[in-house]
Structure 1
Amino acid sequence: MIAELASAGVVLDTDARRLAEYAYDASNYRVPPLAVAFPHSADETATVVRECALRGIAITSRGGGTSMAGNAIGPGVVIDFSRHMSRVLAVDEVARTATVEPGVVLSDLQAYLARVTGNALTFAPDPSSKSRATVGGVIGNDACGNHSVRYGRTSDHVVALDVVTADGVRVTATRTGLRATDPADAAANARAAELEAGLRALTDEYLSEFRLELGRIPRQVSGFHLGNLLPENGFDVARALVGSEGTCAVIVGAVVTLVPVPPAAQLLCLGYRDVVEAARDVMTILEFSPAAVEGIDSAIVDTMRHRRGADSVTGLPDGGAWLYVDLDGADAGDVARRSSELLQQLRGLGRLVEGRVVGDPAERAALWRVREDGAGLSARLVEGGDCDDPRRSARPLESWPGWEDSAVAPEKLADYLVEFRSLLDEFGLTGVMYGHFGAGCMHVRITFDQRTDEGRQVMATFVRRAAEMCVRFGGSVSGEHGDGRARSSVLPTMYSPAVMSAFAKFKQLWDPHAILNPGSIVDPAPMLADLALADIQPRTWNTSFELTSTHDVDPFVHAVQGCIGVGRCRASSGGVMCPSFRATGDEKDSTRGRARTLQDMVRTAPTVADGWRSDEVRESLDLCLSCKACSTDCPTGVDIATYKSEFYDHYYRGRRRPLSHYSLGWLPTWLEATSRLAPVVNKFANPKAGRLAGLTDQRQLPKFASHKQLRRELGEPVEHADTVLVLDTFTRGFRADVAGSAKRVLEDAGHTTECRTDVCCGLTWISTGQLSKAKKVLAKTAAALDDGTDRPIVVVEPSCAAALRKDLPELIHTPAARRVADRVRSFATAVVEQSEAGWQPTTPLPDQVTVQTHCHEYSVFGASVQRKALAAVGIGQVREATGCCGVAGNFGFEAEHYDLSMKVAEQALAPALRATAPAAAVLTDGFSCAMQVNQLQPERDSLHLAQLLDPRREERA
């Protein structure tokens, strides 16, 4: 059938790797498709649908693929609109509407509107996944978001929908009916008239049922929204289709309303003992007309701090659960007055532990990030461990969706949560709670065991019992995420047989042959069918890296299963991951796409075959820059750089490697020779010579430093030093001047230094997957540095510091390796520590700098480490290029990766350089980052932080 589609002119991707990527969304389910389509236009989409319909092939519409209910996976052709159909077609500021394609990402739409309207108008729905969720997706689910207390659901903001019907005809649904998208299309006119007549007859048949059972609470998202067809609602077909989860028509365009951006806003953060106490104050808070009332519990906060460091969550008042309350308005003084009055009234009620106004923008952003990352953070909770050290963790507690989206009227929320927690206790389950308290919608991820038959039966029984309880409270089994494969089977618990019959007839009118997103809402698939965790190979995947596990699952399997599909790696802004996806826009090049391919590799009946020898996995990992940002930015801590290194180690055993694996992978060995012959080597080193080593000829090779230069910079060795300064391969081989600066800065801070030039972090072997050699090197390094003291080990190159801090104990499983890792600091971290101890640099410093934080330092030592170091020494104006430079060790020097390397540079570094005055200071502690700056602006000399702080900086200049 797929061959027939291709012969009919339908362009499809049927690669095994691609099918693995699209077999999953953010739910518990896995359904491999037959093919994936990436249409460029509505007409091309109509062709895909029409040809599939002729052959009875199922069709699933997909945007960001972030559905938690299994709404974005299907057995036939998956149509991904996010790749090409992502434009904003028109903005009408007078009518306050925007015309958009279905694949436009919400945050991109909001950013576009801010530019063209001067931040006057925006699209209101803002689910936590807004940085990767698409307009088509939020229409499909009738998503709401953090500010739904003020702005309602997506259905409240839809004016018209351009759709392709199940037989490939283009019609437009409006707020008063249906019409042909092209008035000259006779077939479309006939189909629109036929549909409209059928929908009017359906409404007449079920008038009383629609009025009594639908639209009872703000977040009644479950089922079809047929109440919009009632005469008193204007026969609003557009809004009736919102929330239909792609089961009735394929959305190819939308006209949506825009709302004014309030000029004044203030965030209150309120601490409570638990979520029930917080819920009891919601009705009082709603009296003050807030724009948002969002909540989280302590489990999410603890996990955030453990994974990203103690300072990743700041500004929280005391408590075990928290509400974020956004108050806004036209006047800042009025907003401040209302905030004060609300705090006073809540204190008088006696449930509030502590409340505060969060004024600092950075604190507000950090707090909202905890809320927005709730789904991912709660997926693998940390039980115990030291939150200051992300490498130290107890066995994580897993939680899953399935009953994560119920809603009740806000006034019933507290009592509902009391009974719900009792139900959890009855089943011996833990629920991690966060969500839209002001709208009565709770997102609860639960510790279901989906890997065993017994655990799956517990999940099914619990969901049925929870549905019955929710209905007793007058609630909805879905308040935002849709029903999908997770909850469609319990809809008869919520609705009468008559309404269920109306749903079936509505679906039949639109999709008579049931090819659109089968398995959701009408004639649903069994809840336990197609669970991703129910089919994993019972084998051991021997690894060099020490990986943790739960439930007696192989550690490598458990590690790659860390991806639950939330898709933050697909965001176009914020954080650092995933630079390759931001450059290509291809799911293949996202952290999620790679993790899903690896997950398929470990299945009993995989789409991706051949295990460690899989060419599909090799292709998936090829454009990973090993920046390690995903290990921090991914809410579940997926570390693709580590998995890539492990996979390459197995894949290339007994095979010829790329030339760069020998030239750059063995760089520390070659540098031992070049340092003795540096003048001669530099004379002949040029891009053309690099081609012989598998390197690009478009990048200038660095100048090699000599042993003599290094000895001159370091001077005489010091006995009984209190600090160890590790001069890594890159510093010794290319930046001897930085070595001298680092030594002088530490001495200026009152320290004596032992300079170690005899150790190596093994990074080049790790990044190219040559782990046997890496372990030998690291074992020697651990033995050399484990000297029985607790002296800090300061490493000049941040990537080497990160390797010694994180990779060393994961590859060398000895107490010595752990002791050495605990002592390691990056140079910027050492500067912060010295400043906190009272030191300030003696050299004059500029008022402002531009800094490129190395990705490995970002991921291992903290996202703000460079900014903190610069603030500590008194530099307040910092332009930070937050993003990968694009070189990433060997990646940007490899001929086949050069073009992508330069595209990645355009994400953050290149724009920051263009905005920096020619004479201004640019900091690049990472050697790779310095090389990229040199490539982008050859006339500019970048500095290491040590050079900026060097007491002899002006003299040496």
Structure 2
Amino acid sequence: METIPFPLRPTRGHPALDPLALESDLRAAVEGEVRFDDTSRALYATDSSNYRHTPIGVVVPRTLDDVVATVALCRAHGAPLLSRGGGTSLAGQCCNVAVVIDWTKHLGRIEAIDPVGRTATVLPGTILDHLRKEATQAYQLTLGPDPSTHDRCSIGGMIGNDSCGMHAQMAGRMAENVESMEILTYDGLRMWVGKTNDEELNAIIEAGGRRGEIYAALRDLRDKYADDIRGRYPHIPRRVSGYNLDSLLAEHGFDVARALVGSEGTCATILRAKVRLVYSPPHRALLVVGYPDIFEAADRVAEIDKFKPLALEGMDDGLLERARRKKLHVDFLEELPEGGGLLVAEFGGETAEEAADRAREVREILKREKGLVSSKVFDDPVHQAHIWAVRESGLGATARVPGMPDTWEGWEDSAVPPERLGDYLRDFRRLLDRHGYDAALYGHFGQGCLHCRIDFDFQTEEGRARYRVFMEDATDLVVSYGGSLSGEHGDGQSRAEFLPKMFGKELVEAFREFKGIWDPEGKMNPGKIVDPRRVDQDLRIVTPRWLPTTHFQFPEDEGKLERAALRCVGVGLCRRHEGGVMCPSYMATREEMHSTRGRAHLLFEMLQGQTLQRSWRDEGVKESLDLCLACKGCKGECPVHVDVATFKAEFLSHYYEGRPKPRLAYAMGLSMYWMRLARLAPWLVNALTQQRALRAVFGGIAGVDPRRKIPTLAPRSFTSWVRSRPRRRKAAVPSPKQVVLFPDTWNNTFHPESQVAATEFLEEAGYDVIVPRGFVCCGRPLYDFGMLDTAKRMLRRTIDRLRPYVEEGIPIVALEPSCASVFRDELRNLFPKDDEAMRLSEQFSTFSQFVAREKLEVPELKMEAIVQPHCHEQALEKLEGERAVLERMGMSYRVPDSGCCGMAGAFGYEAGRKFDVSMACGERVILPDIRQLDRRAFVVADGFSCRTQIEDATDRRSLHLAEVLRFAQRHGPSGTAAAYPERIAENERTSLGAPLGRRLAIAGAVGGIALLALRGAWRGAARA
């Protein structure tokens, strides 16, 4: 195991820790999962902060009894302990040399909601949005604090960090929303804590025992430091730094639960929490006001606070510019009013009119004062969601901005009195300038909290020294304003070192005593808040030790794999349980290693070569990447565009170098070659693959799951149809409009009717449609198995084939989105300095993009449709073309928030776990939706994988957008010619029959080849 950065010394009679013995005892006692392997330890070595500590091991408990057993065994072995929620902490409090308890997989249950008492009792792993959704739908109640990670952060983590978020404006921070908690101390005491009146307090102390001892010590601590607490604690809305010793004061009810909120797991383990719910106004309106700069905007905060908004946020023009550069919410940005500094105030009401009237009232008052540049009121929920999306993307928008230095957390959430925020921001900007740093400014301005990421240099010794000097000055500045080092994210390792400046030595000693009362052995998340490690220790932002040569060139990361692996900032958007494309394998498994974040962290750890070996043969990394569907959802939705699909292809190319690949790699990875052979006699191939017994034989040889059907080949390929088609009569004046229709393997072989429909539609639009002769292919399946040498050769050959069209500037259109994405994405990454490749990439588009971009006339069709987007098109192009065409057609359509269908090329075919994950992805949303769809409605899916998954799992057949357009041209706006439109397309498909003479001529040859291939495969399988 890796050498840990500080030794686990013997304590209180415990010998030095033996991880192997601890692991063995845990496995015997815990029903859940015990993971002490290097891969699991590497996965949990960091959170969303700048720090890295490799844990001793990880426990994923199934029950609270598992947690109790884990704590007991850690105590017996003298092992430090750390509770972890979503792992999105920004100050380093969620990584440590300890046994990590991950609550989020199994212990995320809402036990009770009391609408009368307005409380909810939950287990620590409960995701915030799950509670909010259930409480709001049933009772119009909500938990007020809502960090921007609300769709994946756990309530236990929120309690540990004393989280706040936008709506802490109306409800206060987490400490003000916890009623009571069931806790477990390191020495085994299990009890409920909350407010305690004097009578109860005396009774507890008189009862004696460990509980009485703790309460007596807390009472004495309060009495000893009461004056210091009242005098030194800042009286501001966002004081998150330090322990909540003020909750022990008599005027606050000696609230032991709230004293433990924000303790970052350094005192006790939370088992359950009863949290306060507040009324959630059913209707909202946003007032967005623009000022010349962020400083003048901040000057108006106190005035707007008087109107009691539900939230009051601030953003400067630097944040918006960075979002534009990253193409984040570009359309939404256009909705914002002008101004160098914006304030976003939310108001609620029982009706939409009441909320909007309140916003307009405040707007009119603000107009009377000087300085207002512009303002808008948004009363439509859709537009409001857009505005909040812009604000919530703050961290992602300011990290990894093209053309700008990288930015990091470290000083990202200071807080001051709201009425002094404007002056603080001016001084803070001067401080940044003096140190040569830059940052966009945004945050929870209504409560005086500032967020920012700063372009620190952690790579060099000089840069780290400069960072330390800045932290000294920044902490001095915020203390001079009567503020808090942390206004939301806690102290962790980022700020705890500087707590004496804010609280004084006496109160820091009180913190030490407070922790000692609960954790006398110092084993609960050591090195945080009390006796902290230095702010510039244990930084993970260092140059990796291994810099391997790669196939992909990573042009957006200075050509460096190690820089690409460092993209992940750990915010965990990939850990959502629903919504969006990213990350389908995490949604199916709820495993950290199968999230985008987990995979990026493992790749980083592999390059570091500390916990994991510096080798492309690392089995843990392989296992993590194995369930990646290569959907590219991460590249499209991750705020910093982590590209795991590329990581997977690169890794597999080296992993299999010099050794055999799985059978499926040869069957599916080289499918473009097999399909060329199969097109010689599709009816014979169908006869061999569509019979259940033969299908099982062929599938078993190829490594295909027996539950998966093998697609049926069309009677005739599209290219064959083109060759035998009567030539169109040439017009007197040749059309100046030409388009190349790319004959991708999947539509050409399985769905030629789609390409026929596209051809006829484009010809109707006045285009000469060119279909390249010879073999052209993008090689998409090759990437799934890391066959990158073959993929590069295939792309080179295709570039040569398409060169004449590229030189003439003729647009090239593909019906298959995954093929288009190769030319729009992989081609650029493999050949970034090849001008021909770049020109080809620019001229390539999907069919829907081309129709939308060229504004081609489309027929009207007043019918309903459900649309399953291909992941690549959704990730890279946001489905803009598809939506534009369908809207111009006048169709009533919906796009379920289903994410990946689960097929993902070869992924859904592979026997075993991948098939199960594939079906779990599909069954989340899209497959049940289609089964309930009216038979007269269209199922639109452009991707071959999506169409195959739908056909396999439902009794419906989906259509390509080209078929929908051609259907509308033929059957009119109401489609009255057919009650079941998919049957029309099926008839057109089967009508593309191969000539009888040709079938007879090649039947014998292909049959012989098939038999020989089958015999050879059987012999090979027997030898294997």
Say yes or no: TM over 0.5: yes
Give a deviation string over 1:241-297, Cα, whole Å, max 9, x none.
111111111111100111112022101223333321221221222122111111223
Please name the residue that 2:1008 is paired with: none
Q: What are the residue-to-residue correspondences of 1:81-100 with 2, within 5 Å?
A: 81-100=103-122
Distance (whole Å) between structure 1 residues aligned to residue 714 and residue 208 of structure 2: 76
Matched residue type, 1:665:
G
The equivalent position to 1:488 in structure 2, one of 486, 496, 513, is 496
CA distance in 2, matches of 1:682, 1:721: 39
Structure 2 counterpart of 1:113 = 135
Contact 1:17 1:620 in 2 (8 A): no
8 Å contact kept, 1:879–1:912: no
- 268, 281, 284: which one pairs with 1:262? 281
Aligned to 1:388: none
Q: Is 1:577 matched with 2:573?
A: no
Structure showing greater radius of gyration is: 2
Structure 2 partner of 1:883 = 899
Instruction: Report the Cα distance in structure 1 between the residues aligned to 2:656 and 2:680, rounded to whole angstroms.
Output: 32
SS in 2 for 1:26: coil
1:556 to 546, 554, 561: 561
2:224 aligned with 1:224: no
**Could you tell me how far 1:608 is from its partner in structure 2?**
1.2
- 1:362 to partner: Cα distance: 3.2
Contact 1:739/1:796 (8 A) holds in 2: yes
Q: CA deviation at 1:189?
A: 7.3
Deviations 1:717-739 (A, max 9, x none): 67875212112111111110000
Per the alignment, residue 567 of structure 1 pairs with 572
Aligned to 1:333: 353
Name the CA shift for 1:175/1:445 in 2 (closer, same or farther; >3 Å): same
Letter aligned with residue 424 of structure 2: Y
* 2:442 counterpart residue number: 434
- Check if 1:381 corresponds to 2:401: yes
Q: Residue deviations 1:851-871, cap 9 Å, x none?
A: 000000011112544333311
Provide Cα deviations, 1:595-654, integer angstroms capped at 9, x if missing partner.
100010111x42111421211111110100000000011111100001110111111100
Answer whether contact 2:182 2:272 (CA < 8 A) is retained.
Answer: yes
2:921 is aligned to 904
What displacement does 1:838 show?
5.9
Q: Partner residue of 1:214?
A: 233
Asked whether the 8 Å contact 2:717–2:750 carries over to 1, the reply is no
1:405-457 Cα offsets, whole Å, 9 max, x none, are: 10001111110010001110111111122210111101111000111111111
Query: Shift of the alpha carbon at 1:349?
Result: 2.5
1:392 maps to: none
- Structure 1 residue aligned with 2:552: 545
Match of 1:387 in 2: none
> How many angstroms does 1:313 deviate by?
3.9
User: Which residue identity lines up with residue 37 of structure 1 in the other structure?
Assistant: V
Alignment of 1:731 onto 2:744: no
Residue in 2 that maps onto 1:42: 64
After TM superposition, the structure 1 = structure 2 runs for residues 524-535 of structure 1, keeping only pairs within 5 Å, are 524-534=532-542
**Overall identity of the aligned pairs, in %:** 40
Matched positions, count: 931
Tell me which residue corresponds to 2:475. Answer: 467
Residue aligned with 1:918, SS:
coil
Answer whether contact 1:162 1:173 (CA < 8 A) is retained.
Answer: yes
The residue correspondences of 1:178-193 to structure 2 (distance < 5 A) are 190-193=209-212
The alpha-carbon deviation at position 789 of structure 1 amounts to 2.5
The residue aligned with 1:202 is: 221
**Matched residue SS, 2:453:** strand
Match of 2:780 in 1: 763
Q: Which aligned pairs between 1:453-852 and structure 2 lie closer than 5 A? A: 453-534=461-542, 536-537=544-545, 539-548=546-555, 555-603=560-608, 605-686=609-690, 687-688=695-696, 689-707=698-716, 710-712=719-721, 715-716=725-726, 722-756=738-772, 758-787=775-804, 788-813=807-832, 814-834=834-854, 837=855, 839-841=857-859, 845-852=861-868
Q: 1:423 matched to which residue of 2?
A: 431
> 1:351: how far off?
2.6
Alpha-carbon shift at residue 137 of structure 1 (Å): 0.5
Counterpart CA distance in 1 for 2:857 and 2:221 is: 78
Matched to 2:514, the amino acid is: F
Mark the runs of 5 or more structure 1 residues left unpaired by the alignment: 384-395
Q: State the shift of 1:209 in Å.
A: 0.9
Distance 2:856 2:576 in 1: 40
Contact 2:718 2:748 in 1 (8 A): no
Provide the C-alpha distance between the structure 2 equivalents of 1:51 and 1:186, rounded to a whole number of angstroms.
Answer: 28
Structure 2 residue matching 1:611: 3-state secondary structure: coil
After superposition, the Cα gap between the structure-2 partners of 1:174 and 1:444, relative to the gap in structure 1 and judged at 3 Å, is: same
C-alpha contact (below 8 Å) 2:234/2:482 kept by paired residues: no
Q: Deviations over 1:322-344 (max 9, x none)?
A: 32211112343332222222222
Of stretches 555-564 and 323-332 in structure 1, the one that deviates more from structure 2 is 323-332
1:713 CA displacement? 6.3
Cα distance change on mapping 1:360 and 1:847 into 2, 3 Å:
farther
Which residue of 2 is the match for residue 946 of structure 1?
Answer: 962
Q: Sort the Cα spacing of 1:446 and 1:512 in 2 relative to 1 into closer, same or farther, 3 A.
A: same
For residues 772 and 898 of structure 1, the distance between their equivalents in structure 2, rounded to whole angstroms, comes to 28
Kept after mapping to 1: 8 A contact 2:547/2:607: no
User: What residue in structure 2 maps to residue 923 of structure 1?
Assistant: 940
Q: Does 1:406 align with 2:414?
A: yes
TM superposition shift of 1:179: 13
Q: Check whether the contact 1:305–1:311 (CA below 8 A) recurs between aligned residues.
A: no
What residue in structure 1 maps to residue 459 of structure 2?
451
Match of 1:173 in 2: 193
Residue from 260, 274, 279 that aligns with 2:293: 274
Opposite residue 578 of structure 1, the aligned amino acid is C
Cα distance, 1:302 vs. partner? 3.5
Which among 897, 908, 911 is matched to residue 892 of structure 1?
908
1:172-214 C-alpha deviation (Å, 9 max, x unpaired):
111227999xx9x999972221111110111011111111122
Shift of 1:692: 1.1
What residue in structure 2 maps to residue 294 of structure 1? 313
Q: Is the 8 A contact 1:34 1:77 kept in 2?
A: yes
Classify the secondary structure of the residue corresponding to 1:947: helix
Contact 1:178 1:192 in 2 (8 A): no
Deviates more, 1:336-345 or 1:204-213: 336-345
Deviation at 1:840, TM superposition (A): 2.5
Residue by residue, what CA displacement relative to the aligned partner does 1:7-63 show, whole Å, maximum 9, x if unpaired? Answer: 263442011111111001000001000100111222221221122122221111100
* Secondary structure, counterpart of 2:771 in structure 1: strand
Give the whole-Å Cα distance in 1 for the aligned partners of 2:293 and 2:634.
31
Aligned to 2:443, the other structure's residue is in SS state strand
For residue 577 of structure 1, report the CA deviation from its aligned partner. Answer: 0.4
Verify the 8 A CA contact 1:328 1:335 in the aligned structure 2: yes
Indicate whether 1:934 and 2:951 are aligned: yes
Q: Which residue of 1 aligns with 2:35?
A: 13
Q: Is this contact kept in 1: 2:663–2:703, CA < 8 A?
A: yes
Segments of 5+ residues of structure 2 without an aligned counterpart are 1-17, 729-733, 978-983, 986-1024
- Mean Cα deviation higher: 916-925 or 814-823: 916-925
Query: Which stretch shows the higher mean deviation, 308-317 or 422-431?
Result: 308-317
Residue 707 of structure 1: CA displacement?
4.6
**Helix, strand or coil: the match of 1:810?**
helix
Q: Quickly say closer, same or farther: Cα 1:303–1:892, change in 2 above 3 A.
A: farther
Answer whether contact 2:75 2:186 (CA < 8 A) is retained. Answer: yes
Segment of structure 1 superposing worse, 370-379 or 579-588: 370-379
The alpha-carbon distance between structure 1 residues 863 and 519, as it changes in their structure 2 partners (threshold 3 A), is: farther
Q: How far has the Cα of 1:912 moved from its partner?
A: 2.2
More moved, 293-302 vs 675-684: 293-302
The residue type equivalent to 1:562 in the other structure is: R
CA deviation map 1:537-557 (0-9, x unaligned): 1x432111121366xx76100
Instruction: Check whether the contact 1:921–1:942 (CA below 8 A) recurs between aligned residues.
Output: yes
